[in-house]
Amino acid sequence: MKDAKLERKIGELRAGNGKAFDYIYERTNRSVYFAILYIVRDKMYAEDILQETYVKAVRALDRYEAGTNFTAWLSRIGKNLALNHIKAAKREIPTDFDADAYRYGTQETELPYLFETAAKLLSEEEYEILMLCQVSGYKRREVAQMLQMPIGTVTWKNNEALKKLRIYLQKEGEA
């Protein structure tokens, strides 16, 4: 399930074609963003770390082994940067949604709660699949290709994640 076009664009970027970066970023940014958000749990910091991830990745592009999972390689860089951020902060990071909640309607203040609940309740892989399928709007086959796993596994993990969230929220609603 290799993404041949992505690999081709990586080769072009290595050869100095800066325009290839646009495709690479569009193809991978959501997956990397949600991997980072899972760790830092703050939208603003996740966006900053995402940008830092791409800067670092472009500088280290010669270390990427062609034919392997590029999105996973990028996600690993992002996760490491996110973990370094958490270590440097040495404190609980508040979410930017809390500070600005008064500006938004009900739906906007419920979203961070759902993301936070999902991050606590689900495994990292389930969370990433759920965010890519349900929030980012990718089709399960696209997520399967991005994460290099069978579409059946992506479908099953997405459904299981939704089921876990539904059960948790129903129990919480009864309490």
CATH 1.10.10.10 boundaries in the chain: 105-175
Alpha helices in 15-42 (DSSP H): 20-40
User: Average pLDDT in the 35-53 region?
Assistant: 93
CATH 1.10.1740.10 boundaries in the chain: 1-94
Q: Is the pLDDT of residue 138 over 90?
A: no
User: Average pLDDT in the 45-71 region?
Assistant: 94
Which tens digit of pLDDT belongs to each residue from 105-126?
Answer: 444 445 667 788 888 899 999 9
Question: CA gyration radius for the chain?
Answer: 17
Residue 78 half-sphere exposure toward CB, CA atoms < 13 A: 28
For residue 15, the 8-state DSSP code is T
Residue 134, C-beta contacts closer than 8 angstroms, at least 6 positions apart? 158, 162
Q: Which CATH class is domain 1-94?
A: mainly alpha
CATH assignment of 105-175? 1.10.10.10
User: Average pLDDT in the 132-136 region?
Assistant: 83
The Cα 29–Cα 24 span in angstroms is 8
Q: pTM for the full model?
A: 0.69
